[in-house]
Structure 1
Amino acid sequence: YLNQFDFLYNAVGIKSAAWVYFGKEPKDLKVEEAALLVGMVKNPSYYNPVRKPERALGRRNVVLNLMKENDMITKEEYDSLAALPIKLDFHRVDHKEGTAPYFREQIRLMMQAKKPVRSDYPSWDDQTYRTDSISWERNPLYGWIEKNPKPDGSKYDIYTDGLKIHTSIDSRMQQYAEEAVAEHMGGYLQPAFDREKKGTKNAPYSTNRTEISEIRVNHLIRNAMKLTDRYRMMKKAGASMEEIKTAFSTPREMKVFSYTGPIDTVMTPMDSLLHQKKFLRTGFMAMDPVNGQVKAYVGGPNFSFFQYDMVSQGRRQIGSTMKPFLYTYAMEEGFTPCSMFSNTQPVFTDELGRTWAPRNAGSARVGEDVDLRWALTNSNNWISARLISQLSPEELVRTIQNFGVTSRLDPVMSLCLGPADISVKEMVSAYTAFSNKGMRVDPIFVTSITDSNGNVISEFTPRHTEVISETAYWRILSMLLGVVDSGTGNRIRRAPYNLTAQTGGKTGTTNYNADGWFMAFTPRLVAGTWVGGEERFIHFNGMANGQGASMALPIYGLFMKKVYGDSSLPYRQTDRFEFPANVDLCSGEFSDIPVEDAAADISMAEDVFD
């Protein structure tokens, strides 16, 4: 009974109450402290030790007297304990703190979700309605409270009904993910961003974009102001716009974020908005490609200050991390890693006379004929454009949707370069197919739920979908391994990461360096990282720090270095993909080349297939 009792202040159960009121574990409570908590059970509001200490003291002493009468303490002990004042070490339960706060909040949102009704969503937000509707139909955890009533027909309360929610998260891996984010973002990337923006006009907004004028910046900041709780509360109270502007321009005491800990300072609420905006955001998720269990999940730099979850809620342009979907589609259509294309800039014209000429970030091998393996390894945009011109944008959309992506996709040729806004969670789930022999698996956040008596109410099993045929799978896998061995993902092979594990992946960088991505997979783990500004106009000006290999890849590198360094975890750098014996990755037929040599020669594929 005590393990389910609500002791106020979100302290449900004796363990939580011991922490909230005394900052201790139950086993460490003194006799008088335990008596106070037991006394609250009669009526916690009436005997609230925070608001009604005199009543709580009297009730505590009643409990102590009962203990004396039942020979649990002596009369002398009773007299001594009853004379003591109440000494609290009060801590409110803060769900913004502790390990995996973004993950825990996502579970709460999913479990408490209602069945989507279109009229409950803004007219412009068809995407969220569509995604939520799909989740309602396919994800048993989404709307769990609504879908699983108690035996008496009432609804469960996830905080007060004694439910035990067994999550998929691995506490060790979660710690490593949070450390990796803090080390890279706080230790290197954010200081580099601050140095670039120091003293620049309209910081943290970029200065290399003509559309960012002072008028536009002021408009963006005003919009941000309207999204704050302060603005909404003042508006609801009937404050005029002038009164609101005055309030936002008046200095006041507040806490603001820093990577070394919260800072107590005095600044205007408007300045605090700009302070928040200068921090780059990130999203990281790692999951098991076979059973779907999410092992690590970081939705941002700090949940207390940045509660918008960039793993599940945020969608950003994915850039070249789109290309593995395009190349998979091409492999299914009969292309091979050895298919040759002219590495020259193509120009396409539509029915209206509009032209599209994709650009490349580099100038390697311009004018030569190159194979698809080299093109993907070097993330060549021209070849992607030539490839989609021989295929179909509509079929590319269907291919990506088969990978489990529910975000909106426009069937246009430029889709091959990754302008679509997709979440980290969708991307990580999609990439499980590259690790698991063409089988994609949906993410699992919760493995089981038990009631207060230990009875299992729900169990959650993986949902698999085959999305890549066998021949196409080995071809695309060999190409994605090459991206890490000798292409844009090669940085994980060097210091300070020095990862030797067989790894496939893809970097991604969008226009103006607004988004940096790194998607990676091993035989036993798939992970995705995104880094960027709160708004697309907040970004690095240069590619040195702004590309995905610089912004996002280091988080993965640091994370995996910690994971491989922990022998208690089941991941080893010697884990290998089991290629079929003697398969020729160019024809799909068997050859005389032993598979061990073929896999080892991926880094030299350009020479082999030239």
Structure 2
Amino acid sequence: MIVVKLSQQDIRRYNGYIWKFFISCFLLVVLLIVGTYFGIFGPLPSFRDLENPKSNQASEIISSDKQTLGTYYVENRSNVTYKEISPNVIHALVATEDERFYEHSGIDFRRQFTILFLNIFKSQGGSTITQQLAKNLFTEHPSRNKIVRFTQKMKEWITAVNLERRYTKEEIITMYLNKVDFGAYNTFGIKSAARTYFNTTPDKLTPDQAAMLIAMINGPGYYSPINHPDRLLNRRNYVVLTQMAKLGYLSEGQLAEFKSKPLGLHFNRITHNDGPAPYFRAVLKREVQKILQDESIVRADGTSYDLDRDGLKIYTTINYTMQQYAEEAQAEYMRQLQVQFNDHWKGYSLYKSIKNFKLLLDQGMHRSDRYKADTLQGMSADEIKKDFNTPTKVDLFTWKGDTTMTMKPIDSIVYSKLLLRNSMMSMDPTTGYIKAWVGGINFEHFKYDQVKYGTRQVGSTAKPFTYSVAIDNGYSPCLKVDNVPVEIDIPGQPPYSPRQSQSDLQPGAITLRTALAFSQNYVTAWVMKQVGPVPVMNQIKKMGITSEVGPYPSICLGSFNASVFDMTGAYSVFANHGIWTEPTFILRIEDKKGNVLYTHRPRVTQAMNEQTAYVMTYMLKGVIENGTGSRLTYKYGIRNPVGGKTGTTQDNSDGWFIGITPQLVTGVWTGCEDRDIHFRSTRLGEGANTALPIFAGFMKRVYANESLGIKKNVDFDPPKSPLTVTLDCSAYDQQEQGQNPASDVDKKLGF
């Protein structure tokens, strides 16, 4: 071994070289930092950017009872405040990612050079929480090029220091946890993660749950609890929980306890279809976008709001609990009704028994996604037909849950056509606030909303409109009319003369109240003949029906189409002293900082005389007491003050029931997608069988929950002025003895 003895002069010279090297490196880093600060590697985030960091934040739909109905998002992210995050999450994050977080000012110089080399040469983490936040907020695509990544790191250092100067430690942690990616199915931020993996909220996360979520941060795919649970469990136990114990956040006993626990997932795959009120949320999105455009509501810089990215908060009138009850009531009864329908058609040839059945299938085929895909591929008509007749795996909706079956695609269309559809809406008649909205039977399979956008023939639910015009013009509900066929002349056309099922006929002279209670067509037509179609049409329009209604005698029996939305709103006039209050489902819209962008003010009009409205509630109660809606009492046990009207259209294509109480008005419709497919008997197809039971199931649930404030034994308030109409038919008969009340009214009306 050769030993070289250095002189003192050589040692001083070599020490000088070493010092020069380190000083040069230090100066180079300083120059690079200064250069980065002045933008030689590109602009840094401005003060405005730091105050308003860009983040794809989901817009949140909030119920009237302050629960989240759902979100609109590109990234499934909803922000929370620091107080809404469990300390367990904070402790797990600090212990694992940055144990000196509360001591540094954005950069931890004790480990900075180590971190620099790890990031540049090994692509491993090690930055402070603030640096990670800077990267997440302002470095959209970290480069794999080592030189470019170094310049990005310089920017992140400076940005981290600026973040520390402008925000508190609590704000930085909150921003970080609201931004971070938690992997599965587009889950961003601690709020979405808590809901997705544990079906809870961030403030309720236990130490082991918090540790699992923080363990995922460095590699949500690699440490996926779905695909790689063993990896995640190991990291949770021996990295996160161990670090929490090391820093004193857990005792040794707690460490052992939490290590012994399984991951304990309560996994909820969250998509736009999940959660309550999916039909309502789809309609709401269109309405909010329309409001933002029509009202010219824009950001401060003049650009349009993006509902999927800007974190708006939409406060709605929907009551979360009532919505659940409505969906439960629908599912409970429609499951039974579908069995009735299937049994009813068992053994029958659909092609022979259902009018235009082949045409309906052709229409269904042409509207299907499979047909559109085949067409785009350039397939001929014969090839498409062959494809639809070749068995394959098909996803189907059933009331027992979704299933996959091997069948011909054309047979899946037959299956879909024979599925009964249903929709319902419930609202407060005084405020107009909609409390529950069920637009269909399954949003994933059948996305068309049948509450607001779908219109169907309303049948006998239109009869109260005609009776209300008569009552308003002096007719009494106790007036007796011979229940015999009636003809109404129409200029240039054959007379209008409706039919009446003889099995349902109430023979002889009956009161108007009895005629409405038992839905008698002859007497209703007689009333229409007295008052005329134009006043009835005008009354219908005053009550909020927006679809086309012509001045024809047949509108007295509901020959026109209308939506559940409009019909429910119209019936609210009866329960609200003759006042129509616009059905309302949006209260206000706020930006992500809580600034109010829009407040809805419903339109209110006096659509009917207050006394007329009260008399109509009396007549509608007759439907429930002993008329077509009486099964609400004898079968479902609802005996409190309730009015309502059943409706059944021609060939039993549509079944309706609209029920009114002083605090809730609820409309229900049931039918198939195509009107030619329906029950073959009125006994099964009438609204009393297809719609009323869902109303009953909903109201029984509502009444049972006293916290909702819907009182069972409250009756409709009488008019403020003394009632001028006699509701006691015995007293009425005595008053009118020896007179012809009908002719007296005719004179009054000028007939």
- TM-score, normalized by the shorter chain, greater than 0.5: yes
* Partners of 2:528 and 2:400 in 1: CA distance: 47
- Aligned 1:352-501 pairs, distance under 5 A: 352=492, 354-362=494-502, 368-495=508-635, 497-501=636-640
Aligned residues: 541
Shift of 1:331: 2.0
Match of 2:688 among 536, 546, 549: 549
- Aligned 1:175-214 pairs, distance under 5 A: 175-187=324-336, 189-202=337-350, 207=353, 212=355
Shift of 1:267: 1.3
Q: Percent of aligned pairs with the same residue?
A: 37
- Aligned 1:257-268 pairs, distance under 5 A: 257-268=397-408
Distance 1:144 1:490, change over 3 A: farther
User: In the alignment, what sits opposite 1:276?
Assistant: 416
Distance 1:375 1:603, change over 3 A: farther
Distance 1:364 1:102, change over 3 A: closer
* Partners of 2:505 and 2:473 in 1: CA distance: 26
Distance 1:477 1:533, change over 3 A: same
Paired residue secondary structure (2:400): coil
Paired residue secondary structure (1:390): helix
Distance 1:89 1:400, change over 3 A: closer
- Aligned 1:14-93 pairs, distance under 5 A: 14-20=190-196, 26=202, 27=205, 33-35=212-214, 38-39=217-218, 92-93=269-270
* Partners of 2:387 and 2:304 in 1: CA distance: 42
User: In the alignment, what sits opposite 2:455?
Assistant: 315
Shift of 1:299: 1.3
Distance 1:359 1:174, change over 3 A: same
The question of 1:170 aligning with 2:346 is answered no
Match of 2:678 among 539, 546, 550: 539
Shift of 1:366: 6.2
User: In the alignment, what sits opposite 2:444?
Assistant: 304
Paired residue secondary structure (1:354): strand
Shift of 1:549: 0.8
The 8 Å contact of residues 344 and 366 in structure 1, kept in 2 or not, is answered as no
User: In the alignment, what sits opposite 1:592?
Assistant: none
- Normalising by structure 1, what TM-score? 0.79
Shift of 1:367: 6.4
* Partners of 2:731 and 2:629 in 1: CA distance: 15
Deviations 1:339-389 (A, max 9, x none): 343321013444445233211134677663333222212211112212222
Which stretch shifts more, 451-460 or 525-534? 451-460
Match of 2:711 among 567, 572, 575: 572
Q: Which amino acid aligns with 2:287?
A: M
Gaps of 5+ in 1: 78-85, 114-141, 588-597
Distance 1:417 1:30, change over 3 A: closer
* Partners of 1:503 and 1:581 in 2: CA distance: 21
Q: Which amino acid aligns with 2:399?
A: Y
Gaps of 5+ in 2: 1-174, 253-262, 738-751
Paired residue secondary structure (2:537): helix
User: In the alignment, what sits opposite 2:661?
Assistant: 522
Distance 1:364 1:583, change over 3 A: farther
Shift of 1:178: 1.2
* Partners of 2:410 and 2:731 in 1: CA distance: 55
Q: Which amino acid aligns with 1:175?
A: Q
User: In the alignment, what sits opposite 1:11?
Assistant: 187
Deviations 1:418-438 (A, max 9, x none): 011100011111111111101
User: In the alignment, what sits opposite 1:159?
Assistant: 308
Match of 1:108 among 285, 292, 300: 285
Larger Rg: 2
Shift of 1:439: 0.8
Distance 1:31 1:324, change over 3 A: closer
CA RMSD of aligned residues (A): 3.7
Distance 1:552 1:608, change over 3 A: farther
The question of 1:512 aligning with 2:651 is answered yes
Distance 1:48 1:534, change over 3 A: farther
Distance 1:529 1:144, change over 3 A: farther
- Normalising by structure 2, what TM-score? 0.65
Shift of 1:391: 2.4
Shift of 1:111: 1.6
The 8 Å contact of residues 478 and 729 in structure 2, kept in 1 or not, is answered as no
